[in-house]
Structure 1
Amino acid sequence: MGTVVRATLAYWALIIVVRAIGRRPGGQMTPFEFVLIFFIGGISIQAVVTDDRSLTNAVTAVATVALMHVVVTALKQRFPKFGRVVDGTPVLIFENGEWHRKRMMHHGVQEADVMAAARAQGLEREDQIKYAVIERKGDISIIKAQS
């Protein structure tokens, strides 16, 4: 039973930590950020399994985390506000020629990241962009300005 409680607490703690860290587009994560994510997971697993390294305990921990994922998914579908808390909402970072620098700083996104997303759509200049949005999953969406 202790493993179930620890796995549940670790799951929720990781959701909170990942939300607090903010979003960066997956393809634009730095090696440091990848190391950070794996490091947090490695530390968490030690707290979950403690000294019991049996197969039964490992399966119990994995099953608990899987169940938590199913519960969170169901809660997100049933309660849209819960989904916004867990997954976040899209964030507008560029609008009609104006950068929203505080938002960019909060999410660790730089102008170069936005321009890379724009170039992927064949846009070369800032004036060709109407909006840039950091999506819930961290991708940057570019809405083209009217020509």
Structure 2
Amino acid sequence: MADLFALSAPWWHFILRGAAIYLLVTVLMRASGKRAMGQFTPFDLILLILVGNTVQNGINGGDNSLTGALIMATTLIGINWVVAWLSARSVWFRGLAEGRAAVLAVDGKVDHAMLRRQLVSEEDFLTATRLAGCSGLHDIRRATLEPNGHIMIEKTDGSWS
């Protein structure tokens, strides 16, 4: 019974490991692009599961105790809370943590290089314009790919979608 609570390493190792893995996975997810964050495909789900499984031993260092799990879970939730708190209070930090919107089109002119850079296919962009109620590119005043992965369209009549 005592094995359930016995740590295999000092408690602070778990906090350090959790913080390091949180930072690593955050950087990797940010590097994967906005589209990957906002529009999950079955392949993205598979990737998420595999990444979670891959980093598991990096976080727990082989420890299977309940105490270690509690420390790691508390660490991850605490770091996430701090990131959310800082993001809500600092524009600079929010840009660092979440990224900034990317302009995909202005006044009906699509920036194809930006679409490629942001990993947005022409088909996905055109689907977003149709869902926004645009009958053609001429209806677009501005289209942006938001940090959450959604394409926002401001139409020439001033409405947003």
For normalisation by structure 1, the TM-score amounts to 0.89
* Pairs within 5 Å for 1:28-39: 28-39=39-50
Deviation at 1:12, TM superposition (A): 0.8
Query: Does the 8 Å contact 2:128/2:151 carry over to 1?
Result: yes
- Residue in 2 that maps onto 1:123: 134
- Residue in 2 that maps onto 1:80: 91
Instruction: Note the alpha carbon deviations across 1:81-136, whole angstroms, 9 max, x for none.
Output: 11101101111011123222222112211121122122222223222222211112
Matched residues in 2 for 1:56 and 1:19: separation?
31
39, 58, 75: which one aligns with 1:64: 75
RMSD of aligned C-alpha atoms? Answer: 1.9
Matched residues in 1 for 2:19 and 2:38: separation?
29
Deviation at 1:66, TM superposition (A): 0.4
Deviation at 1:36, TM superposition (A): 1.7
- Residue in 2 that maps onto 1:16: 27
24, 42, 50: which one aligns with 2:61: 50
- Residue in 2 that maps onto 1:97: 108
- Residue in 1 that maps onto 2:3: none
Query: Does the 8 Å contact 1:114/1:132 carry over to 2?
Result: no
Query: Does the 8 Å contact 2:18/2:76 carry over to 1?
Result: yes
Q: In structure 2, the residue corresponding to 1:131 is in which secondary structure?
A: strand
Q: In structure 1, the residue corresponding to 2:103 is in which secondary structure?
A: strand
Letter in 2 for 1:21: S
Instruction: Note the alpha carbon deviations across 1:17-63, whole angstroms, 9 max, x for none.
Output: 11111111666333222222222222112211121111111111111
Mean CA deviation greater in 57-66 or 25-34: 25-34
**Structure 2: gaps (5+ residues):** 1-11
Letter in 2 for 1:78: R
For normalisation by structure 2, the TM-score amounts to 0.82
**Structure 1: gaps (5+ residues):** none
Q: In structure 2, the residue corresponding to 1:122 is in which secondary structure?
A: coil
Matched residues in 2 for 1:53 and 1:36: separation?
24
- Which structure has the larger Rg over C-alpha atoms? 2
